[in-house]
Structure 1
Amino acid sequence: MTATADAEAAANELMPLAEYLGSVLRRLRALPPLDLDLTQAHGNVLANDVLAPHPYPAFDQAAIDGYAARWEDLTGAGRVGSHPSLGRFEGGRPVRLNVVGDLGAASWRPVRLNPGTCFSVAAGAPLPIGSDVVVPVHWTDQGMAAVEIQHAPKRGSGVRRAGDEVAAGQVLAPAGAYVTPAMVATFAASGIGHVVVRPSPRVVVVATGDELVDVGRPSQPGQIVDANSHALTAAAVEAGALAYRIGICDDDPEGLRGLLEDQTLRADLIITTGGTGTGPGDMLRRVLSRRDPGRGAVEFTDVALSPGATLGFGTVGGEEVPVVCLPGEPGSALIGFEVLARPVIQLLAGAEPVFRTSVKAHLLETISSPGGLREFRPAHVAERRGGGHTVQPLAGGPYTLSGLAEANGLLVLGERVTTAAAGSTVDVLLLDRRR
């Protein structure tokens, strides 16, 4: 049997990635909802539809600075050319109206407009009863006791009626939507001070291994700089989590178990990196695979995934906090985060969909892929003139980490693909990066 055939036979014994993800995600539920103040709710996912309790605007108001008047009183005013905001009135003489008062945004007493009169108004001021137009200041002589109006706007111009933008009972945002700054403004303007949201998952990140040392120095024989806990904490924050980097945990069984159980008090999800293999130094797999009553257990699965074939998922501690175990190689750890940990965070947060947006793209370069494995390769995606996308593969395999640093997408090649020709159409996951 050839080496290629051996590799394909071994890959056939691995669990397909889609099947593995389905088995993991079916075990999870979104976190219980919380009632939060608007400013605290920003960035969270709404647990319920949000309905407007009141209309917006809440009352008829001026949309611009000017003079609130009756449109019938302006029918003699001139018009200029065919400006779309001007009325179609014959004649060119100005209309003169008495200014009977000033109204600002803080005015609250109701006033009535009589024929032949107007009020000077500021944007946001309540409209006088009977007025149906606000004339812009620059269409007048800006008079104080009386004003001459040279041009007549259309009826209703410069006016915002109650409920024009949002009606009472209208759905402002559906359940599952992220709370944005614009949503916060709309909720507040409609009289909403609190909303019910799914809380941001609290994620704890732990790197394991006796060989690990903190950043700030280069790796050397027997020592490897801990890049993973920093990168995975940043990735969890990008996914919308409240992430905490615990740092490095040595390969001490009791120390590892005690640290993880301590973290269950502050975590909705624990992410570990390193120790997922079956080698002599892979302590984490041996410790977490042990099924102790009341302490949870993690199942490690060989998945048809490249890079990084072994992933772990289960629970730890009496609270049965979910734990995701990722490989120790930095590129594999980040790919493992994308395919497993990120969807878990999204599901806990109540977000839909849990997976990143994907597009079809035109491949610019012929590439090979390991048979039997679903490969995720760093790539640069660009929009084509006239529509569609192109994708340029970046460094993968042992160089996945450096490729990811340049990537704005992940090229996905299926288990049956061994070669993807230039010009073919491929799937690409879009990463949340501005490039």
Structure 2
Amino acid sequence: MSTAATRTAGPDHLWTVDEHLEDILATVRPLDPIELQLLDAQGCVLVEDITVPVSLPPFDNSSMDGYAVRVTDVAGASEEYPAVLTVIGDVAAGQAESLHVGPGETARIMTGAPLPPGAEAVVPVEWTDGGLGEGPVTGMRARSQSPEGADGHVHVYRSAEARAHVRAQGSDVKAGDRALEAGTVLGPPQIALLAAIGRGTVRVRPRPRVVVMSTGSELVQPDEQLGNGQIYDSNSFALTAAARDAGAIAYRVGAVADDAEILRSTIEDQLVRADLMVTTGGVSVGAYDVVKEALSSVGDEDEEGAGIDFRKLAMQPGKPQGFGSIGPDHIPLLALPGNPVSSYVSFELFVRPAIRTLMGLDDVHRPRTRATLTADKALTSPKGRRQFLRGTYADGAVTPVGGAGSHLVAALALADALIVVPENVESVEPGTEVDVVLLG
């Protein structure tokens, strides 16, 4: 890592949240664009404006099953005095050859079929006798009528204005219009539009590949039997899910035991499929903090600038953090603390913006708002630390959930917001306006 902040910060420097985030975002760069097939591009960010080559719809077409008519031929039509028209044929969707509707004539037309020359409107089949001579078609008869009619004529019981039930050429988008702007995230509606205008591939920044691994010999996988002193590994599941929620393709690696060489080897094996690596656990000052042991010297023999910097942040939870790059391609690595709440809060503040930056998005942060604190008592916060408390947000108010403990997973599961208490604030009274990070 080679940012100015890292070069000038000493080992005892207490980083602010903003300094750490700035260091990350100054180092991480958007992934290079590639050309992808439409379905492979879902969730990716466009790097080019998309111009419409052909209007949508490309031709005037019917919005109803019915009959294509001339307006003058059905003027004044009613159930007592229906217009009787000669049926000259059918017009189906996708039909290449088109009939010409002349005076006193009509063509049976299906939804989506092109409006035939001479016709000016479409009357729904329910306004006719369907060619059966038995009054207006309704209910089951509207769905089961014979397509051939009774005698080559149809009775029309209502008049129609010009262009009635006709979708005009270009009424959706016109040739030459800008369909999508660069920077658009491609979801199902955007992919539908691209397909509709004939684009089979598109140039995008790919979704970043994020490898998540947790560390700790005490960790057991769900569905396995817990032994003495063991706990289930929840962090790797939470962070992998969070990475996918942020837009990444995320790979979860099972918990790695407290062995520096095994951890180093596992990380090196995972580099081939990583644009970003995230570890959780082993970054503080404990005797078995293997992430720190395994990665502190990484990069000594690599290109200049590689390596992981472990630092302390003026925040709660999440004081111990690590950031840098690893391997010959300098893959960014964020080392998060091991307590469940600490790791998740750290992900939201630091890893999610890194993922969104790799995607090439302009707005990489969760939305923030101001909200009124609703609580039974004042919130307390350690001096000099920016605290992030879990809460629920609704209608301009936020309520704390659980306590400040970094192990409270159940409380975290109920939260949809983070309450931000600044470094210079030690107490927040109920009714005070606070900053809130919205997680939903």
Same fold (TM over 0.5): yes
The yes-or-no answer on 1:369 pairing with 2:381 is: yes
Contact 1:38 1:184 survives alignment (8 Å): yes
Measured after TM superposition, the shift of residue 218 of structure 1 is 3.9
Q: CA 1:367/1:105 → structure 2, altered by over 3 Å: closer, same or farther?
A: same
The yes-or-no answer on 1:306 pairing with 2:294 is: no
Contact 2:213 2:279 survives alignment (8 Å): yes
Measured after TM superposition, the shift of residue 248 of structure 1 is 2.1
Distance 2:397 2:130 in 1: 58
Contact 2:128 2:154 survives alignment (8 Å): yes
2:232 aligned partner, one-letter code:
V
Show the 5 A alignment for 1:138-217.
Answer: 138-143=126-131, 144=149, 145-215=152-222, 216-217=224-225
Q: CA 1:363/1:78 → structure 2, altered by over 3 Å: closer, same or farther?
A: farther
Contact 2:385 2:423 survives alignment (8 Å): yes
Measured after TM superposition, the shift of residue 318 of structure 1 is 0.8
Q: Secondary structure at the match of 2:27?
A: coil
Distance 1:22 1:268 in 2: 19
Equivalent in the alignment of 1:431: 439
Q: CA 1:153/1:300 → structure 2, altered by over 3 Å: closer, same or farther?
A: farther
Measured after TM superposition, the shift of residue 59 of structure 1 is 1.4
Measured after TM superposition, the shift of residue 374 of structure 1 is 1.9
The yes-or-no answer on 1:334 pairing with 2:341 is: no
2:38 aligned partner, one-letter code:
L
Equivalent in the alignment of 1:103: 91
Comparing 360-369 and 208-217, the one that deviates more = 208-217
Tell me the alpha carbon deviations over residues 112-134 of structure 1, each in whole angstroms, 9 at most, x when there is no partner. Answer: 22122111100011110122211
Equivalent in the alignment of 1:407: 415
Distance 1:105 1:183 in 2: 24
1:140 aligned partner, one-letter code:
T
Distance 2:60 2:422 in 1: 59
Distance 1:40 1:329 in 2: 35
Distance 1:260 1:174 in 2: 38
How many aligned residue pairs are there? 403
Distance 2:29 2:351 in 1: 14
Equivalent in the alignment of 1:85: none
Equivalent in the alignment of 2:142: none
Task: Give me the CA root mean square deviation.
Answer: 2.1
Contact 1:105 1:126 survives alignment (8 Å): yes
Q: Pick from 255, 270, 274 the counterpart of residue 267 of structure 1.
A: 274
Contact 1:217 1:225 survives alignment (8 Å): no
Tell me the alpha carbon deviations over residues 327-381 of structure 1, each in whole angstroms, 9 at most, x when there is no partner. Answer: 0111111111111111111111223311112232222114222232222221112
Equivalent in the alignment of 2:120: 132
Comparing 237-246 and 122-131, the one that deviates more = 237-246
| TM-score for both structures, normalised by structure 2 | 0.86
Equivalent in the alignment of 1:323: 333
Equivalent in the alignment of 2:107: 119
Comparing 133-142 and 350-359, the one that deviates more = 350-359
Equivalent in the alignment of 1:17: 17
Measured after TM superposition, the shift of residue 272 of structure 1 is 0.6
2:346 aligned partner, one-letter code:
G
1:102 aligned partner, one-letter code:
D
Distance 2:391 2:374 in 1: 11
Tell me the alpha carbon deviations over residues 386-427 of structure 1, each in whole angstroms, 9 at most, x when there is no partner. Answer: xxx221110132154222111122222222232222222222
Distance 1:54 1:107 in 2: 19
Measured after TM superposition, the shift of residue 183 of structure 1 is 1.5
Distance 1:19 1:412 in 2: 17
Q: Pick from 294, 319, 325 the counterpart of residue 287 of structure 1.
A: 294
Equivalent in the alignment of 1:28: 28
| TM-score for both structures, normalised by structure 1 | 0.87
Q: CA 1:356/1:153 → structure 2, altered by over 3 Å: closer, same or farther?
A: farther
Equivalent in the alignment of 2:6: none
Measured after TM superposition, the shift of residue 147 of structure 1 is 2.0
2:64 aligned partner, one-letter code:
I
Q: Secondary structure at the match of 2:269?
A: helix
Q: CA 1:187/1:391 → structure 2, altered by over 3 Å: closer, same or farther?
A: same
Distance 2:15 2:284 in 1: 16
Q: Pick from 241, 249, 261 the counterpart of residue 254 of structure 1.
A: 261
Distance 1:38 1:57 in 2: 21
Q: Secondary structure at the match of 1:264?
A: helix
Distance 1:250 1:213 in 2: 10
2:316 aligned partner, one-letter code:
S
Measured after TM superposition, the shift of residue 25 of structure 1 is 0.5
Q: Secondary structure at the match of 1:26?
A: helix
- In structure 2, runs of 5+ residues without a counterpart are 1-11, 132-148
Tell me the alpha carbon deviations over residues 68-105 of structure 1, each in whole angstroms, 9 at most, x when there is no partner. Answer: 112233322359xxxxxxxxxxxx74322222111111
Comparing 149-158 and 205-214, the one that deviates more = 205-214
Q: CA 1:347/1:99 → structure 2, altered by over 3 Å: closer, same or farther?
A: same
Distance 2:99 2:198 in 1: 25
Q: Secondary structure at the match of 1:235?
A: helix
Equivalent in the alignment of 2:393: 381
1:174 aligned partner, one-letter code:
E
Equivalent in the alignment of 1:8: none
Measured after TM superposition, the shift of residue 13 of structure 1 is 6.2
1:231 aligned partner, one-letter code:
A
Equivalent in the alignment of 1:395: 402
2:357 aligned partner, one-letter code:
L
Measured after TM superposition, the shift of residue 224 of structure 1 is 3.9
Q: Secondary structure at the match of 2:15?
A: coil
Measured after TM superposition, the shift of residue 19 of structure 1 is 2.3
% same residue: 40
Distance 2:271 2:390 in 1: 33
1:16 aligned partner, one-letter code:
T
Equivalent in the alignment of 2:41: 41
Distance 2:227 2:52 in 1: 57
Q: CA 1:134/1:287 → structure 2, altered by over 3 Å: closer, same or farther?
A: same
Q: Secondary structure at the match of 1:300?
A: strand
Q: CA 1:37/1:428 → structure 2, altered by over 3 Å: closer, same or farther?
A: same
Distance 2:401 2:436 in 1: 13
